């Protein structure tokens, strides 16, 4: 089977196609921060492709889920050898918050680190913070970093949400960026290098052919699951809002084949929730009554009553507004059973998970007080003004 030529050329494919760039790296001892999305347009993984091109890859670094992404969310990754390439591997997702940043000995002997990971476009997605912490560690060790850019799969135009307030930063929001930031990983690397203390000698190998209005299925590139519960572009499209469900005891449908597109719990009055959502007349989405049974995590083995979210117009659908509405609708039912998640979340145990995800406890209180979710979403615009101004200074692609 021959894959058709993509419309967009990734940073990895550009590196492999440009002898001058490639030759400049030959002879260097290279570290590689990768996961399953680190592929060429012909599905060759960066590890094999770069070694075949004559580069000396001596060490791998794995983000959350691992180099091959076989671990579930928040599951400690302890791999020391990549099972396919046999290369030594450093996990950057261990038992403690300190494990997220490479230690000096992890970088010893390296001349450069290359980062190539597909982001999803929402600030909760941890891979961009792993890149940022790698940049910080490499800056402290005087090791240059190259980021091979990839598209923002849910487009580079639409911004949603607020920013993380001081004191509510965590591994699902380490920097004050909007919930849906509309930037690529390469643009965020420039943002980190310019506006945070994650600074290093940075090179970004830019995309070719990408337009900010593009969704991933318009790039011609093959989709590879970035993490175990991100199977499709539809999942990524609802994720900027639906990840908030992790901060509740509602099931976000991990343990099913449609994570984040399904939502529910044994105590939910699904018909009433559907009626409430339909009364709000949110654009771009329709709702189907469902019952589902997660095989693991929340409500494992129990029948959950809830909804499947069907995207009818992704250009109009605003995931964050939708998920505010879902949570508000369940709270309004005053059913026995609903609660905010109180267990430790991404290495933090002294604040509610929902406050970390929202980045601002006032947002949670507004939901508890019955504020119209559409008004709550609209109020976010002024909160992110500084971010948007800084973002504009770091954009690499202009239609």
Give the domain ranges of the chain. 11-227+389-393, 233-359
pLDDT of residue 100: 96
pTM for the whole structure: 0.96
How far apart are alpha carbons 18 and 26 in whole angstroms? 13
How far apart are alpha carbons 44 and 47 in whole angstroms? 8
Q: What angle do CA 170, 77, 39 make, to 5 degrees?
A: 90
Backbone angles phi, psi at 235, to 5 degrees: -60, -45
pLDDT of residue 3: 67
User: Rg of the Cα trace of the chain?
Assistant: 21
Residues 303-342: tens digit of each pLDDT: 999 999 999 999 999 999 999 999 999 999 987 899 999 9
pLDDT of residue 44: 98
Query: Could you tell me which CATH number the domain at 11-227+389-393 has?
Result: 3.40.50.12170
How far apart are alpha carbons 201 and 136 in whole angstroms? 10
C-alpha 74, offset from chain centre: 14
How far apart are alpha carbons 356 and 167 in whole angstroms? 9
Q: The tokens of 44 are what?
A: 């060759």
Residue with tokens 């299925």: 217
Q: What is the DSSP string of 233-277?
A: HHHHHHHHHHGGGGGBSSB--TTSSSTTTEEEETT--HHHHHHHH
What CATH number does domain 233-359 carry, 3.30.70.370, 2.40.10.170, 3.90.1150.140, 1.10.3720.10?
Answer: 3.90.1150.140
Residues 18-53: tens digit of each pLDDT: 999 999 999 999 999 999 999 999 999 999 999 999
Strands of the sheet with 202-205, listed across from one edge: 89-91, 56-62, 29-34, 112-116, 145-148, 202-205
- 15 and 148 Cβ atoms separated by less than 8 Å: yes
Q: What is the DSSP string of 150-208?
A: ---TT-SS--BS--PPTT--BTTB-SS--SB----HHHHHHHHHHHSS----EEEE--B
Q: What is the DSSP string of 94-141?
A: -SSGGGGS--HHHHTT-SEEEEE----SBTT-THHHHHHHHHHHHHHT
* DSSP state at residue 222: P
Residues of the chain with pLDDT under 50: 1
pLDDT of residue 2: 52
Q: The tokens of 208 are what?
A: 């070719």
Q: What is the DSSP string of 333-383?
A: TT-TT--B--S-BTTB-SS-HHHHHHS-HHHHHHHHTT--HHHHHHHHHHH
Residues 94-110: tens digit of each pLDDT: 999 999 999 999 999 99
pLDDT of residue 79: 83
């Amino acid at each position: 089977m021959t894959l058709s030529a993509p419309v967009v050329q990734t940073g990895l494919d550009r590196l492999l196609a440009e002898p001058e760039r490639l030759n400049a790296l030959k002879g260097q001892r290279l570290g590689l921060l990768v996961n399953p999305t680190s592929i060429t347009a012909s599905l060759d993984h960066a590890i094999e492709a770069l070694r075949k091109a004559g580069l000396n890859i001596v060490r791998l670094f794995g983000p959350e889920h691992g180099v091959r992404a076989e671990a579930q969310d928040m599951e400690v990754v302890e791999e020391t050898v990549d099972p396919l390439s046999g290369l030594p591997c450093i996990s950057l997702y261990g038992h403690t918050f300190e494990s997220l940043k490479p230690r000096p000995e992890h970088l010893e002997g390296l001349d450069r680190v290359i980062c190539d990971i597909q982001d999803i476009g929402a600030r909760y997605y941890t891979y961009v913070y792993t890149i940022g912490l790698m940049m910080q560690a490499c800056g402290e060790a005087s090791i240059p970093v190259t980021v091979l850019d990839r598209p923002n799969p849910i487009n580079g135009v639409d911004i949603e949400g607020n920013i993380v307030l001081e004191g509510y930063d965590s591994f699902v929001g380490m920097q004050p960026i909007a919930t849906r930031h509309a930037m690529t990983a390469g643009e965020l690397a420039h943002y980190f290098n310019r506006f945070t203390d994650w600074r290093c000698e940075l090179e970004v190998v830019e995309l070719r052919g990408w337009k900010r209005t593009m969704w991933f299925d318009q790039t011609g590139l093959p989709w590879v699951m970035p993490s175990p519960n991100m199977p499709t572009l539809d999942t990524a499209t609802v994720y900027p809002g639906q990840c908030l469900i992790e901060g509740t005891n509602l099931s976000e449908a991990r343990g099913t084949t449609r994570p984040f597109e399904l939502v529910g719990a044994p105590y939910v009055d699904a018909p009433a929730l559907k009626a409430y959502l339909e009364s709000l007349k949110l654009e771009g989405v329709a709702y189907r009554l469902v019952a589902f049974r997660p095989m693991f995590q929340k409500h494992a083995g129990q029948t959950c009553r809830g909804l499947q979210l069907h995207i009818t117009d992704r250009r109009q659908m605003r995931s964050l507004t939708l998920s505010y509405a879902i949570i508000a609708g369940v709270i309004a039912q005053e059913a026995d059973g609903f609660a905010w998640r109180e267990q430790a979340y991404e290495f933090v145990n002294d604040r509610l998970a929902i406050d970390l995800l929202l980045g601002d406890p006032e947002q949670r209180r507004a939901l508890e007080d019955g504020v119209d979710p559409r008004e709550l979403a609209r109020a976010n615009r002024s909160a992110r003004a500084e971010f948007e101004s800084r973002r504009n200074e770091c954009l690499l692609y202009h239609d």
